[in-house]
Amino acid sequence: MLPRSCRAGFGKLDLLLIVALVLVLGFMMIPSLTMRVASRRDAQRLEDMQRIEAAIMRYWVDHGSWPPAEENQAYDGWDVSNDGDFIPALQSGGYLQGKPGDPRNDDQYQYRYRVFPKGSLGLSSDGPTYVLGVRSFETVSARRTSLGGFQCPDRDFTREFAWVTGNSAPTR
């Protein structure tokens, strides 16, 4: 029999060191993978906003009004993506395919929609104004690079949302 130092293969200490090294490398990769997943969710949010905004405008062209919004008091009067009326109204009318909703769709991450009556918010428009927004992004890069913004004389929605758009009723 060969002496212990001459045997081929791994000893218990060698295996323990290899396992420890693999675990350390694995834990180092977790933040990177987490950020990638969060970035994908933020990209989905922006894509959804573009689709919903286009659907709202097509709805206006056909109906002469903005899609209905459920004024949910639990959300300060906003219709939210996880339990509201505006997305189903756009879907049933054929203006929106699929069911867009924030990838997390919880109290922090959600889409909000609201229709304000004519003359509110300090706007001098001919009709009501809609506001559509993403409540929050997960990554700093999405917060910095996201386009969108909607301000009215009486309210700056960019302070309430990570991304926001809106429009007053176009003249017909």
One-letter-per-residue 3-state SS of the chain? CCCHHHCCCCCHHHHHHHHHHHHHHHHHHHHHHHHHHHHHHHHHHHHHHHHHHHHHHHHHHHHCCCCCCCCEHHHCCEEECCCCCHHHHHHHCCCCCCCCCCCCCCCCCCEEEEEECCCHHHCCCCCCEEEEEECCCCCHHHHHHCCCCCEECCEEHHHCCCEEEEEECCCC
pLDDT of the residue at 142 = 76
Residue 2 has pLDDT above 60, yes or no: no
pLDDT of the residue at 144 = 65
pTM over 0.75: yes
pLDDT of the residue at 61 = 92
Residue 120 has pLDDT above 70, yes or no: yes
More confident residue, 75 or 123: 75
Domain segments of the chain: what residues? 10-168
